[in-house]
């Protein structure tokens, strides 16, 4: 299995990029498909299921914390997903699955870092 077998999308998120090629490569590796390419505005749209990522260049906040802290993807099995993330060579922020006491039974999660400091959280709500 692959990391992409363990998550589904949540919503549209806009993320400024210093390089559209790097942004496209990162999101493609996570299983996204380019659905829009607008050279006039230096914008691309990447989609996986119902989650759309908008990436663009020329924004002075690119790579700065606070522009976007992270996006969170719904994961069915965080333990299995982190194994795949390690195999696929993602830049892991967390080397093991973390746990917080949210919701009824908590959440299990880990984070990877992509280009320009983008943080993607893979989050499982424990049943």
Judged by DSSP in three states, 53 sits in strand
Q: What digits encode the pLDDT tens for the residues 82-95?
A: 999 999 999 999 99
Domain for residue 49, yes or no? Answer: yes
**How many domains are contained in the chain?**
2
Mean pLDDT across the chain? 85
Same-domain check for residues 101 and 51: no
The DSSP code for 104 is T
CATH number of the domain bearing residue 47: 3.10.180.10
Same-domain check for residues 70 and 104: yes
pLDDT value at 15 more than 60 = yes
Range of the structural domain that residue 37 is part of: 10-60
Rounded to two decimals, what is the model's pTM?
0.67
End-of-domain residue from the set 22, 45, 60: 60
Contact 51, 73 (CB under 8 A): yes
Same-domain check for residues 69 and 122: yes
Contact 36, 43 (CB under 8 A): yes
Q: What digits encode the pLDDT tens for the residues 24-36?
A: 999 999 999 998 8
Nearest 5°: phi and psi at 105?
A: -120, 10
Q: What digits encode the pLDDT tens for the residues 46-61?
A: 888 888 787 888 777 7
- Measured CA to CA, the distance from residue 19 to residue 124 in angstroms comes to 30
pLDDT value at 11 more than 50 = no
pLDDT confidence band for 9 (50 / 70 / 90): low
Same-domain check for residues 54 and 79: no
């Amino acid at each position: 299995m692959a990391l992409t077998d363990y998550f589904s999308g949540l919503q549209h998120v806009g993320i400024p990029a210093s390089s559209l090629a790097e942004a496209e490569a990162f999101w493609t590796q996570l299983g996204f498909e380019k659905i829009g390419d607008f050279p006039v505005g230096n914008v691309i749209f990447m989609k996986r299921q119902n989650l759309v990522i908008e990436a663009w260049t020329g924004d002075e906040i690119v790579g700065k914390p606070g522009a976007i802290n992270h996006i969170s993807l719904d994961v069915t099995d965080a333990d299995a997903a982190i194994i795949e993330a390690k195999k696929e060579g993602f830049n892991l922020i967390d080397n093991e699955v973390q746990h917080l006491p949210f919701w009824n039974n908590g959440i299990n999660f880990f984070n990877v870092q992509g280009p320009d400091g983008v943080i993607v959280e893979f989050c499982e709500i424990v049943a």
